[in-house]
């Protein structure tokens, strides 16, 4: 068995975070190992989601675990080629964060419920409905696969402010 590892997370601005990721044609041991590394990276951060472009891999793969309560059983999810196939008219507002835009949060409005179709770790097609934090996180992660960040939903002025702050944090982390 190969050992899982924590991978470095790209910090905005980075051109790789603005690209559209490519669909995964077939599952391979390499892709499954990437998924395991991404789960390890997400839990280590800590975060409740992570998309492959955030670790510099431009393929359509996301991981998530929206169980925030440490007393509850973790629910790691791995999704290859995830797609929102149905979204509710009803919306919800959540104060989102992003591991690629550290230490910054802003309210984003999204559909409250979504139906997602994806390929699981066994290579099987799955479909399920998600609500609450799960719906928010999965939409945020699928946006990453399309080169979209949560700050793209904000006003140009707020987006510029958060980009500058992220750039400063990125420089400080590179010097450290």
CA 10, 13, 15, 19 torsion-angle sign: positive
Q: Which stretch binds ligand K1U (CB under 6 A): 27-35, 85-93, 135-143, 158-166?
A: 135-143
Q: Is 141 a residue of the active site? A: yes
Residues 6+ apart with CB under 8 A from 81: 23, 24, 60, 118, 119
Q: Is 9 in the site for Zn ion (CB under 5 A)?
A: no
CB of 106 to ligand K1U, least distance (A): 10
Q: Which stretch binds ligand K1U (CB under 6 A): 19-27, 123-131, 132-140, 163-171?
A: 132-140
Pick what 46 binds: Zn ion, ligand K1U, none; C-beta below 5 to 8 Å, kind-dependent. Answer: ligand K1U
Which residue has the closest beta carbon to ligand K1U?
47
Footprint of Zn ion on 81-120 (CB under 5 A): 98
């Amino acid at each position: 068995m190969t050992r899982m590892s924590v991978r470095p997370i790209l910090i905005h601005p980075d051109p790789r975070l603005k690209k559209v990721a490519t669909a995964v044609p077939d599952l391979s041991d390499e892709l499954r190992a990437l998924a395991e590394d991404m789960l390890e990276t997400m839990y280590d951060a800590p975060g409740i989601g992570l998309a492959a472009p955030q670790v510099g891999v431009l393929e359509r793969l996301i991981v998530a675990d929206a169980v925030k309560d440490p007393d509850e059983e973790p629910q790691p999810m791995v999704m290859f080629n995830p797609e929102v196939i149905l979204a509710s008219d009803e919306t919800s507002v959540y104060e989102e964060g992003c591991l690629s835009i550290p230490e910054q949060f802003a309210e984003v409005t999204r559909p409250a419920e979504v139906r997602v179709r994806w390929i699981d770790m066994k290579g099987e097609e799955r479909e399920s409905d998600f609500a609450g934090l799960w719906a928010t996180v999965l939409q945020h992660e699928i946006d990453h696969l399309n080169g979209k960040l949560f700050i793209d939903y904000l006003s140009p002025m707020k987006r510029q402010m958060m980009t500058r702050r992220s750039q400063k944090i990125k420089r400080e982390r590179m010097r450290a």
